[in-house]
C-alpha cells in the first residue's frame, strides 16, 4: 500500500469556513447592476393547442421590460439527445401542466408575476395520456409527439424508436444466453410486477440563473447548473452565438442530485435579457421546482426469474417502461443506463432486458441520484428475497451464491473487476446481527430485518480536462470545471493535487466556475467527477513537473527528479535539491517558457454496445457496490414504519477523504429512506401536481432517521484499476438499495410485500387488513 | 409607499426605508446584503431562512420586517464574534456536518437557539430541536453529532 500524505485523510473541507459564516455565495446571492426579474407563464392544461396569445395588457403594466412568447423562440431543441423541446412550448402545443408558454422580465419579481397573470392565452384542449403503460400500448389513446419520427437526433447516442408504439422515443435491449432455455432449466420461476414513482430532488436551492449580454454582444450566464459546458453549448446553439462568445459562471450550488444536470431556466433568462437589453434573473419558486424542476422517472417493471433448487439463478427477463413525461431530456439515456444496474451485481447466464422510454402528458423527468439504478434494484432485490423464501434459503446465502466473481463476464459482456459487494454484504449483515432475532417488539409494533445489495456505475467515454499552474512560491493552482454542490469535490481534488506535489492542501489554489478560464468537463454528474478529475489531475501535474524538472536538471546535474514540499530533488540523492522559487526570476517568471502550465485530459474507456444484444466490453467505466441491512418496526394498528437500525456499506474503491465519503453515504441513504417511505409526486386527474410544497411532499427530517448509535456507515475499498488511487465514485451509489432493504424488512416484520413505491403506511395497513394479518 | 424603520442586526443599527410588506428575509438579503440567510421555500416549511430574534430562532420568510423593529436580530454573519467562531460553527466544521451548505446557516442558528435553552440535550432532543430544518444532503447524523459536541463545549 502506498504511503499517502494527503489522500485518505479527512482534511477539513475547503468550503467549510465560508459555509458556516454565511459568506459562501450561491447564484441567487449575486446582483448584477440593472438586473430585472423574470417569471414564467405555465400551461394549466396537460394537452392543448395554443390558438392565440395576447400580451398587450402585460406589456402595458408599469415596470415590465420584456415579454417572451413562442414567436420569439428559435426553432432549435434544447433537449440534449432528441429534437423535441423548445425554450417555450413546442410548435404552439402544450404537452403538460407546467409546460412553459411565455415569460416576463420586469423591475421586480412581483411585477413580473402580476404581468404573467395578465397574459391571455386561448387554448383548445386536447386529450392527454398520463399513465406510462397506457401511453406504451400499441393502441395508445394519445400520441404525445405525432412528429416524433421526424425529430432530429442531436448526439452520437443512438435513438431507436418502436415502429409499433408511437409514444416510445427510445428502446434498449440486452440479450445474453437464451432465457427460454434458462427458464426450462429452472426448478422455480418467480414472476412479478413492480413500480416506482416520480420523486423531486428537493434541493434547498432552487434553479437560479442570471443572464446578461456584454457590450460586445457576448452572453454571460451565472447559473446553478451541474453541467456548465453542456449549458454553454446549448446556449450557443439556441442564441446562434459561437461558443467562444458564451461564458458560463457558476458558484456554490445548494444541492443538485442530478436535477440541475440539464438546461432549466437559462435559455428563457438569456432570451429575455436579449430582448430587454438588461440582465435578467430567473429563480424558480418552490412550487415551480415541484412541478417543472425535474422528477425521477417512474418505472414499471415486469420481471421473471428462473432459479434452481440450490439457489443458482438460471434466467432473468425484464421489461422496463420508463414514463419520461413530455420531453426526452435525459429519459432516453436512462433507458440505457438502467440496464447497467440490472447486470452489474449478479451472475445471470441467460438474460433478457427490454427498456422503453415513453412520452406522457406529465412534466419533465430526468436524472435523480442514481440515474435508473435504484429503480432497477427495487424489483431485483425483492425478487431475491421472494425466491429465497420459496426455496427455504437464507436471503443472504442466495445473494452470495449469485454474486459475480472477479474476472467473470456479466450479462452485458463486460468483465467484472473490483467487485466489493461481498465484503459490503458481510460487513453490514454482521453489524445488524443477521440470523439473530430483531429487537423485541412492543405493543402493536412488529419488527423485522432486511438486506439488499446493488451497484452504480460511472458513465463510459466522457472527458474531463484540467490545467495546473505552478506559482513561484510553490503554490499549485488547479483550474477545473466541476461544480461544488456539497459532494466535496473542491476538497477532494485539492487533496489529489496536493499529493502529486507533496504539499499540504493549503498550498493548492482552486480555480473554477468560469468557462472563460477553466477547461472542458462533461459535467458534474453520473458519479464521474472523482475518477475523471483524479486521472486528469495526475496527468496535468506530471506535465507541469516535467517542465519544472527540465529547468531544474541542469542546475542539479541530474534528470531523475522528484518534488516535495516546494522543493525539487534528485531521487537518488535527495540532499541535492532546490526550491521551486529558484526556477523563477525575481519578477515571478519561470526561467523557461514564460508560464508553467500543465494540461491533463482524461477520457474514460468505452466500447459501443451491439444494438441488438447490448453486448459491450465496456458499457460503463466502473462499478461501485453497496449493501444495506436494516431493521424496521411496523405498527400493526396504523401501518406506520419506523427505521430502527440501519447499516450501510459502500465499496468506493478508495476514500480520498473518508469524512466526506461518509457524508455522501449517509446523505444518499437518507434520500433512499425518503424514496422508500414517503416521496411521491401526486397528480390530480387533469395532470396537475397536487403536492407542490414541503408540507405536502414529505422528505426525511431529522426525526425520521435512526439514532446515530443505531446506524452504521462502513467504507469498503476494493481498488478500481483505472480509478485514481483506486477510487470509483460514491455520490449516487449510496441510495440504490435502501428502498428494497426496507421493503424486505417490512415483509420480514408483518408478511406484507409492497411492490409499488413508496411503502406508505396506508398501503401496509390496507394490505394487512386484506390479508387478515391484523 | 416606503416607511422608515430601524433594525438592529448583528449588533449594528440600520436606518432603512422599506416597503411595509417586505419580509425580514427580503430586507436582510436585499437591503442589508446579508445573503447568508437563505431562501429555500418562502412559505416557512424548510428552515433555511432561520435567524435568531431576541434569543429565539424564527423563520425570517414568515415575519414582516416591520415586526422586527426594536428586536435584537442575529444572522449567520453575526454569529462569530471578534473573528472567533461560535462553538456550533466549529463543531459543524470538525464533524463534517456541512455539504452543499444551503441549510447550514439556518441549521446552525436553530442549533444555537436550541442549545441556549437546552444545555445538555440528549440526541433524541436534538433531533426534535432541528426537526423544522430540512437538510437534503447529510442525512442529519453528522449535524446531530456536531450539535451534541457543541453542547459539550458550551456547558463546560
The pLDDT assigned to A301 comes to: 98
Q: Which domain holds residue B128?
A: 87-151
- B68 found inside a domain: yes
Residues B11 and B67 in one domain: yes
3-state secondary structure (DSSP) of residue A137: coil
pTM, to two decimals: 0.97
CATH number of the structural domain spanning residue B56: 3.10.20.30
Specify whether the CB–CB gap between A752 and A774 falls below 8 A: no
Give the end of a domain, one of B36, B51, B78.
B78
The pLDDT assigned to B155 comes to: 57
Residues B56 and B97 in one domain: no
Q: How far is A671 from chain B (nearest CA, A)?
A: 7
Give the end of a domain, one of B24, B54, B78.
B78
With CB atoms and an 8 Å threshold, state whether A286 touches B85: no
With CB atoms and an 8 Å threshold, state whether B76 touches A21: yes
Cα Rg for chain B, rounded, in angstroms? Answer: 15
With CB atoms and an 8 Å threshold, state whether A19 touches B104: yes
Q: How far is A466 from chain B (nearest CA, A)?
A: 23
Rounded CA gap, A616 and A187, in Å? 30
B-chain residues near A203 (CB < 8 A): 100, 102, 136
A143: its cell numbers: 400520441
Closest residue of chain B to A31, computed from CA coordinates? B30
Question: Within an 8 Å CB–CB cutoff, is residue A405 touching chain B?
Answer: no
Closest residue of chain B to A200, computed from CA coordinates? B136
- B66 found inside a domain: yes
Q: In chain A, positions 642-701, which contact chain B (CB-CB < 8 Å)?
A: 659-660, 662-663, 666-671, 693-695, 699-701
Specify whether the CB–CB gap between A527 and A664 falls below 8 A: no
Task: Give the closest of A12, A16, A22 to B36, CB-based.
Answer: A22
Q: Which residues pair with A252 in a beta bridge?
A: A26
- B156 found inside a domain: no
Give the end of a domain, one of B13, B47, B78.
B78
Closest residue of chain A to B83, computed from CA coordinates? A21
Question: Within an 8 Å CB–CB cutoff, is residue B140 touching chain A?
Answer: yes
Q: Mean pLDDT for each 10-residue chunk of chain A (774 residues)? A: 88 98 98 96 98 98 98 94 94 97 97 98 98 98 97 90 97 97 98 98 98 98 97 96 97 97 94 98 98 97 98 98 96 87 96 97 96 96 98 98 97 96 98 93 95 96 97 97 98 98 98 98 96 98 98 97 97 97 94 95 94 94 97 97 97 98 97 97 98 96 88 97 96 96 98 98 96 78
- B108 found inside a domain: yes
Rounded CA gap, A563 and A578, in Å? 10
Written as one string, the DSSP assignment of A620-678 is EEEEEEEEEEEEEEEETTT--EEEEEEEEEEE-S--SSHHHHHHHHHHHHHHHHHHHHT
Residues B49 and B108 in one domain: no
Question: Within an 8 Å CB–CB cutoff, is residue B141 touching chain A?
Answer: yes
CA B128 to each of CA A122, A332, A676, A697, B115: distance values in angstroms, whole numbers, following the listed order:
50, 42, 22, 20, 12
Written as one string, the DSSP assignment of A529-598 is HHHHHHHHHHHHHHHHHHHHHHHHHHHHT-S-EEEETTEEEETTEEEEEEEGGGGB-TTS-BSSSSS-EE
Residues B121 and B61 in one domain: no
A-chain residues near B29 (CB < 8 A): 29
A-chain residues near B138 (CB < 8 A): 663, 666-667, 670
- B15 found inside a domain: yes
A148: its cell numbers: 416524433
Residues B9 and B37 in one domain: yes
In order of their start, the domains of chain A are 16-24+462-603 (3.30.365.10), 31-128+204-255+260-292 (3.90.1170.50), 369-458+620-771 (3.30.365.10)
Rounded CA gap, A637 and A768, in Å? 9
With CB atoms and an 8 Å threshold, state whether A23 touches B46: no
Specify whether the CB–CB gap between A646 and A627 falls below 8 A: no
Residues B55 and B115 in one domain: no
The pLDDT assigned to A2 comes to: 66
With CB atoms and an 8 Å threshold, state whether A659 touches B128: no
The pLDDT assigned to A336 comes to: 84
Rounded CA gap, A359 and A364, in Å? 10
Per-residue pLDDT tens digits for B21-35 = 999 999 999 999 999
Residues B64 and B98 in one domain: no
Residues B118 and B51 in one domain: no
The pLDDT assigned to A706 comes to: 86
Q: Is residue B156 over pLDDT 60?
A: no
Residues B34 and B96 in one domain: no
Q: Is residue B154 over pLDDT 70?
A: no
Tell me how many domains chain B contains.
2
The pLDDT assigned to A586 comes to: 92
Rounded CA gap, A289 and B42, in Å? 13
What is the ipTM score, two decimals?
0.98
CATH number of the structural domain spanning residue B126: 1.10.150.120
User: Which of A9, A10, A19, A35 to mutate to probe the B interface, most B CBs <10 Å?
Assistant: A19
Number of C-beta neighbours around residue A331 at 10 A? 27
Closest CA to A99 of A51, A54, A45, A146: A45
Q: In chain B, positions 50-89, which contact chain A (CB-CB < 8 Å)?
A: 75-77, 79-80, 85, 89
Who contacts A587 (Cβ-Cβ below 8 Å, separation ≥6)?
none
Amino acid at each position: 500500500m502506498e504511503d499517502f500524505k494527503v489522500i485518505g485523510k479527512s482534511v477539513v473541507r475547503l468550503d467549510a469556513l465560508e459555509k458556516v459564516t454565511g459568506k459562501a455565495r450561491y447564484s441567487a446571492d449575486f446582483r448584477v447592476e440593472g438586473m430585472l426579474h423574470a417569471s414564467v407563464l405555465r400551461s394549466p392544461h396537460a394537452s392543448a393547442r395554443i390558438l392565440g396569445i395576447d400580451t398587450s395588457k402585460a406589456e402595458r403594466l408599469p415596470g415590465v421590460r420584456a415579454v417572451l412568447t413562442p414567436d420569439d423562440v428559435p426553432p432549435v431543441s434544447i433537449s440534449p439527445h432528441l429534437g423535441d423541446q423548445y425554450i417555450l412550448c413546442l410548435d404552439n402545443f402544450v404537452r403538460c401542466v407546467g409546460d412553459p408558454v411565455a415569460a416576463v422580465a420586469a423591475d421586480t419579481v412581483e411585477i413580473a408575476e402580476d404581468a404573467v397573470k395578465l397574459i391571455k392565452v386561448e387554448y383548445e384542449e386536447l386529450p392527454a395520456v398520463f399513465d406510462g403503460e397506457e401511453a406504451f400500448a400499441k393502441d395508445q389513446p394519445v400520441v404525445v409527439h405525432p412528429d416524433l419520427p421526424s425529430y432530429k437526433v442531436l448526439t452520437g447516442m443512438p435513438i431507436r424508436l418502436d415502429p409499433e408504439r408511437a409514444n416510445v422515443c427510445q428502446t434498449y435491449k440486452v440479450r445474453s444466453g437464451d432465457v427460454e432455455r434458462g427458464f426450462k432449466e429452472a426448478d422455480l420461476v418467480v414472476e412479478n410486477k413492480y413500480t416506482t414513482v416520480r420523486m423531486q430532488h428537493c434541493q434547498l436551492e432552487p434553479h437560479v440563473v442570471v443572464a446578461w449580454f456584454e457590450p460586445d454582444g457576448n452572453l454571460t450566464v451565472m447559473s446553478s447548473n451541474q453541467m456548465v459546458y453542456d449549458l454553454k453549448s446549448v446556449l450557443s446553439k439556441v442564441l446562434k452565438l459561437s461558443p467562444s462568445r458564451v461564458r458560463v459562471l457558476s458558484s456554490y450550488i445548494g444541492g443538485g442530485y442530478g436535477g440541475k444536470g440539464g438546461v432549466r431556466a437559462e435559455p428563457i433568462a438569456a432570451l429575455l435579457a436579449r430582448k430587454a437589453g438588461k440582465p435578467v434573473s430567473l429563480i424558480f419558486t418552490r412550487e415551480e421546482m415541484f412541478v417543472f424542476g425535474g422528477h425521477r422517472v417512474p418505472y414499471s417493471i415486469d420481471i421473471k426469474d428462473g432459479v434452481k433448487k440450490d439457489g443458482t439463478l438460471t434466467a432473468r427477463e425484464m421489461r422496463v417502461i420508463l414514463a419520461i413525461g413530455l420531453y426526452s431530456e435525459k429519459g432516453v439515456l436512462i433507458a440505457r443506463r438502467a440496464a447497467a444496474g440490472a447486470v452489474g451485481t449478479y451472475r445471470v447466464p441467460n438474460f433478457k432486458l427490454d427498456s422503453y422510454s415513453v412520452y406522457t402528458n406529465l412534466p419533465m423527468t430526468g436524472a435523480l441520484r442514481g440515474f435508473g439504478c435504484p429503480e432497477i434494484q427495487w424489483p431485483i432485490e425483492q425478487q431475491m428475497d421472494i425466491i429465497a423464501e420459496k426455496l427455504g434459503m437464507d436471503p443472504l446465502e442466495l445473494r452470495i451464491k449469485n454474486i459475480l466473481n472477479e474476472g467473470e463476464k456479466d450479462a452485458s459482456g463486460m468483465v467484472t473487476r473490483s467487485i466489493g459487494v461481498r465484503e459490503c454484504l458481510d460487513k453490514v449483515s454482521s453489524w445488524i446481527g443477521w440470523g439473530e432475532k430483531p429487537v423485541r417488539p412492543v405493543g402493536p409494533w412488529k419488527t423485522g430485518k432486511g438486506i439488499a445489495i446493488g451497484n452504480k456505475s460511472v458513465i463510459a467515454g466522457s472527458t474531463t480536462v484540467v490545467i495546473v499552474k505552478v506559482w513561484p512560491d510553490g503554490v499549485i493552482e488547479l483550474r477545473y470545471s466541476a461544480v461544488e454542490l456539497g459532494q466535496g469535490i473542491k476538497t477532494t481534488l485539492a487533496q489529489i493535487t496536493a499529493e502529486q506535489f507533496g504539499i499540504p492542501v493549503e498550498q493548492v489554489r482552486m480555480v473554477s466556475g468560469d468557462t472563460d478560464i477553466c477547461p472542458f468537463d462533461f459535467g458534474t454528474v453520473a458519479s464521474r467527477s472523482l475518477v475523471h478529475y483524479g486521472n486528469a489531475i495526475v496527468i496535468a501535474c506530471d506535465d507541469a513537473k516535467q517542465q519544472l524538472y527540465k529547468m531544474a536538471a541542469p542546475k542539479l546535474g541530474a534528470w531523475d527528479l522528484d518534488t516535495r514540499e516546494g522543493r525539487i530533488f534528485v531521487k537518488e540523492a535527495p540532499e541535492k535539491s532546490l526550491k521551486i522559487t529558484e526556477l523563477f526570476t525575481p519578477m515571478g517568471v519561470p526561467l523557461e517558457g514564460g508560464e508553467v502550465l500543465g494540461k491533463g485530459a482524461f477520457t474514460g474507456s468505452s466500447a459501443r454496445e451491439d444494438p441488438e444484444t447490448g453486448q459491450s466490453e465496456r458499457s460503463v467505466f466502473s462499478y461501485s457496490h453497496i449493501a444495506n441491512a436494516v431493521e424496521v418496526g411496523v405498527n400493526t394498528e396504523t401501518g406506520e414504519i419506523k427505521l430502527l437500525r440501519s447499516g450501510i456499506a459502500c465499496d468506493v474503491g478508495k476514500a480520498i477523504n473518508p469524512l466526506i465519503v461518509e457524508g455522501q453515504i449517509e446523505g444518499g441513504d437518507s434520500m433512499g429512506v425518503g424514496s422508500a417511505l414517503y416521496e411521491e409526486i401526486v397528480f390530480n386527474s387533469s395532470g396537475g401536481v397536487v403536492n407542490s410544497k414541503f408540507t405536502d411532499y414529505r422528505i426525511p427530517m431529522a426525526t425520521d432517521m435512526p439514532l446515530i448509535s443505531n446506524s452504521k456507515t462502513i467504507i469498503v475499498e476494493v481498488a478500481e484499476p483505472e480509478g485514481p488511487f483506486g477510487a470509483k465514485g460514491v455520490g449516487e451509489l449510496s441510495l440504490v438499495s435502501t428502498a428494497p432493504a426496507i421493503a424486505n424488512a417490512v415483509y420480514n416484520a408483518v408478511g406484507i410485500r409492497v411492490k409499488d413505491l413508496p411503502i406508505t403506511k396506508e398501503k401496509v395497513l390496507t394490505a394487512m387488513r386484506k390479508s387478515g394479518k391484523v | 409607499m416606503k416607511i422608515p424603520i430601524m433594525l438592529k442586526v448583528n449588533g449594528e443599527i440600520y436606518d432603512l426605508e422599506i416597503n411595509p410588506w417586505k419580509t425580514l428575509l427580503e430586507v436582510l438579503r436585499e437591503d442589508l446584503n446579508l445573503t447568508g440567510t437563505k431562501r429555500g421555500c418562502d412559505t416557512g416549511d424548510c428552515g433555511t431562512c432561520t435567524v435568531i430574534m431576541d434569543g429565539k430562532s424564527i423563520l425570517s420568510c414568515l415575519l414582516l420586517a416591520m415586526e422586527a423593529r426594536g428586536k435584537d436580530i442575529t444572522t449567520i454573519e453575526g454569529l462569530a464574534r471578534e473573528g472567533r467562531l461560535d462553538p456550533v460553527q466549529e463543531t459543524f466544521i470538525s464533524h463534517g456536518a456541512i455539504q452543499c451548505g444551503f441549510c447550514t446557516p439556518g441549521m446552525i442558528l436553530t442549533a444555537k437557539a436550541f442549545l441556549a435553552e437546552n444545555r445538555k440535550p440528549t440526541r433524541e432532543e436534538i433531533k426534535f430541536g432541528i426537526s423544522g430544518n430540512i437538510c437534503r444532503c447529510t442525512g442529519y447524523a453528522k449535524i446531530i453529532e456536531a450539535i451534541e459536541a457543541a453542547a459539550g463545549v458550551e456547558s463546560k
